[in-house]
Amino acid sequence: MNANKNQSLSARLRFALAGLGHGLRTERSLRTQIAVSIGVAVALVILRPAPLWWALAIVCSTAVVAAELFNTAIERLADHLHPQLHSEIRIVKDCAAAAVLCFSLGALGVAVALLVAIARS
């Protein structure tokens, strides 16, 4: 049985925060996504949209950050298991990066829709 299974909530939270910390220390893309998320929060405070827009922006921002963390995890695992360059590993890593791109484009679409809604009101 895995010793990390059925740990207390505080232990699992420490694991998650350790992963986030590692990502922030090692991944420029994650730091960029976090900075953009902070910018989104500032824009929400300034623009004061309806609560639904807050919810959409928060979900989009956290989804992009989560996708970036999944991408980091996949890249690290792939590099650990197969450190040499390999065409199949490249495809796996490219697909993970494409997932981040898809989330980011969706978040950008929500941002544009929010700005259009505010301009019309």
pTM: predicted TM-score of the whole model, two decimal places: 0.89
pLDDT at residue number 1: 62
Of all residues in the chain, the percent with pLDDT exceeding 90 is 93
Q: Are 65 and 30 in contact (CB under 8 A)?
A: yes
- Over range 51-71, report the average pLDDT: 97
**Closest by CA position to 97, among listed 115, 75, 112:** 75
Q: Are 81 and 92 in contact (CB under 8 A)?
A: no
Rama region for 48: left / alpha / beta (φ>0; ψ in -120 to 50; rest): left
Could you please state the CATH topology (level 3) that the domain comprising 9-120 is classified under: Helix Hairpins (1.10.287)
Residue 2 binned pLDDT confidence (cut-offs 50, 70, 90)? confident
Looking up tokens 């989104």 gives 40
